[in-house]
Structure formats: structure tokens, C-alpha cells
């Protein structure tokens, strides 16, 4: 989990992604290179988050009580990215 939090779910990375998505969503009327790049990065992050959730539940099925709060947080981040992504 340390590696995951350090690389994939880095708070600064997620906040920057969300902030940029919000700015583009509020200002942009057309799809440009920056928007395309952002959407691609968001999709990759969403996929990674979903794969992580699935892998944790498969590898540690007996620890659901311990993993549930953490996985709920990861799910919320993923849902936030999906919401911005679907604009």
C-alpha cells in the first residue's frame, strides 16, 4: 500500500488532476490537445485505481474489515475522477 500511495494515489498528483480537470471543464468549449492529454491521464489513473481495488480484494479476502475504509477512500477518488472525466 505504501508504494500505491506514493506513486499512483499521490495526493498532489490526484489534486492536480482534479484541479486541472475542473479548470478545463469550466473554461473549455472544445477539445484541444491539453484536454485530450488530461482525459488520457485521468483514464489511466482510473484504470489503475480500479485494478488496485480488484487486486486487493482478490489477494486479501479475509482482511475486508481492515481494507474496507482504505478501499472506500480509493473508490471515492476514482468516482471523483470519473465525474470530472464524464463532464
pLDDT at 83: 67
Asked if 41 contacts 13 with a C-beta cutoff of 8 angstroms, the reply is no
Give 39-85 pLDDT, tens digit per residue: 788 788 878 878 888 888 899 889 888 888 877 887 777 777 666 65
The better pLDDT of the pair 30, 32 is held by: 32
Amino acid at each position: 500500500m505504501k508504494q500505491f500511495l506514493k506513486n499512483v494515489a499521490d495526493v498532489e498528483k490526484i489534486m492536480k488532476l482534479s484541479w486541472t480537470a475542473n479548470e478545463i471543464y469550466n473554461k473549455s468549449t472544445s477539445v484541444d490537445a491539453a484536454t485530450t492529454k488530461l482525459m488520457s491521464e485521468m483514464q489511466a489513473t482510473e484504470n489503475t485505481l480500479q485494478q488496485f481495488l480488484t487486486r486487493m480484494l482478490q489477494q486479501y479476502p479475509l482482511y475486508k474489515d481492515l481494507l474496507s475504509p482504505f478501499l472506500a477512500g480509493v473508490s471515492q477518488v476514482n468516482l471523483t475522477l470519473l465525474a470530472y472525466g464524464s463532464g
